[in-house]
Amino acid sequence: MPEPAPTVDVLTRTGAVRGRWRGAPGTPGASAAFLGIPFAEPPVGGLRFAAPEPARPWEGVRDALEHGPTPQRGDPGVTIIPEPSVPGESTLNVDVFTPTPSTDVRSDGPTDSVGLPVLVWFHGGGYVAGSPASPWYDGRTFNRDGVVTVNVSYRLGFDGFGWIDGAPPNRGVLDWLLALEWVRDNVAAFGGDPGRVTIAGQSAGGGAVLTLLGMPRAQGLFQRVWAVSPALADVSPERAQAFARRIGELGGIRPDLDGLRSLSEERIRQLQREALRPARGARGAGADLVSEGLPLGPVVDGHLVPAATPSSLASGVGTGVPLVLGTTDDEFSSAFRGSEARLRLVTRKAALKRLGLLEPRRTEWLEANRGEGLRGTAAVLGRYVSDHVFRAPLVRVVAARELGATVAAADGAAPAATWAYRFSWRSPVSGAAVHCLDVPFLFDVLSEGHVPAVAGARPPQGLADRLHADIVAFVRGADPAWPTAAGEAFPARVYGSTIATVPDAYASARPLAGV
């Protein structure tokens, strides 16, 4: 039997935690993992559907050797990213990965020492699923490159984002804020610098970091943002309330705090699935995203989230924070895979009209995507869903940042820049640069067991080296080595079989952006 890896204790403000070394301490590439550290009390009992409460102090040393409980429950089914569920009540926790844990940091305040830059990662999953315990999110490669990494857990689905009369809205957003406050107050104990925090995330996690960038209350908790395929929700109060009423109707209860607390956690998940099912209909989940948007996610409540994210950014919120954002080329292009025969006799214009794309924008978009049209109506619809959900919103965010920079400059402030990129490498498995394909490249974990199912047996390590090195450099404080995203036809770095800067890199999505 091999000897177990040595452990290491760190003192946080709420108590000591015990992590485990991966690699011999002091050797190149060694780092320590502290898993499942609670930043909030378990959201159960009287705290169910309540704002998160900071974790209470504990006595002695708390083991942080295994992943903590996840808000995602049960088997999520087949997902591109491996997303394990962990049972338990204390679901609001963080995982910390560090090459330099400190054993002498005071727990009653920050230190004067300068630590390593910090990457805080928010997982995706459409705001209803996902897990911070994915092996793809292990921070060891960032530790190898001198970056402390923190993975955040937050309430999902109706628990985190459902509208409930008598309960605070945006409970999942409040979880994000409290986790970032925990990082501010505790990351120095793990060798990190609370003044050099980059927040990053993919899909819903990318939407999360853009939402935080546009929130006045979140300013100062991070200094840089990297958004991967950001899926902004910006749910209207009317849509959130309608979804809550649907949950109440299905469950036979009033959609208020007392009524919903009368239902078990599992029952609400069942009702949530049932409430979502009719909206998907026969056209597929991609069409649902186009016609109605996400029903669960950050709600524009007028207070915590005062405005839709592009509007908030255009008003000048977050202009001092450098931003990198990008998408894959074929995010949801497979949404209509399997429908080719059924759609063969349907014209592209008629199919797009059913999804709500009308003239003159329809003709403009088809002209910009003429090459996709040669592949048939199903391929056109898949491209449209990708553009509508991910790529056109990116164009709107870039435009909003330019407006915000103008506002900041008029007020005498110095606005920060924005950079865009595209991930274009096509996997031999799918023949496309699909949603989530870029994540193992970003984390430089191509050797993980699940990666070949998505990226093939021999994904290009050189591409991972470049993409990972670029985010590491950004987290360390360097500006990206390609032109900023400025002007209507802005350039972007394209990560593909070759890596190059492309002018007007989002031209195909621009007709949908409305800017």
- What gap in Å lies between CA 135 and CA 355, rounded to an integer? 37
Residue 466 has a pLDDT of: 98
* Token pair belonging to 10: 């760190």
Catalytic residue among 67, 153, 315, 331: 331
Catalytic residue among 67, 123, 388, 435: 435
Q: Which of 79-88, 273-282, 361-370, 425-434 has the lowest mean pLDDT?
A: 273-282
- What gap in Å lies between CA 120 and CA 200, rounded to an integer? 6
User: 435 an active-site residue?
Assistant: yes
Angle, helices 265-280 vs 237-251, to 10°: value is 120
Q: What confidence tier does 280 reach under pLDDT thresholds 50, 70, 90?
A: very low
DSSP string, 401-459: HHHHHHHHHHTT--PPPEEEEEE-PPPTTTSS-BTTTTHHHHTT-TTSTTTHHHH-SS-
Angle at alpha carbon of residue 368, lines to 124 and 497, rounded to 5°? 55
Mean of pLDDT values over 10-28: 94
- What gap in Å lies between CA 508 and CA 422, rounded to an integer? 12
Mean of pLDDT values over 444-467: 96
Catalytic residue among 134, 203, 386, 424: 203
- What gap in Å lies between CA 157 and CA 296, rounded to an integer? 6
Mean of pLDDT values over 213-240: 97
* Cβ-based neighbours of 379, under 8 Å, separated by 6 or more: 333, 336, 372, 373
User: 203 an active-site residue?
Assistant: yes
Residue 287 has a pLDDT of: 55
Residue 340 has a pLDDT of: 85
CB atoms within 10 A of CB 22: 16
Residue 501 has a pLDDT of: 97
Q: Is residue 111 pLDDT above 90, yes or no? A: no
Q: What is the pLDDT of residues 236-248, one digit of tens each?
A: 999 999 999 999 9
Residue 108 has a pLDDT of: 44
User: 331 an active-site residue?
Assistant: yes
Q: What is the pLDDT of residues 405-416, one digit of tens each?
A: 999 888 888 899
- List the domains of the chain with CATH numbers: 7-228 (3.40.50.1820), 309-513 (3.40.50.1820)
In this prediction the pTM is 0.95
Angle at alpha carbon of residue 209, lines to 474 and 30, rounded to 5°? 50
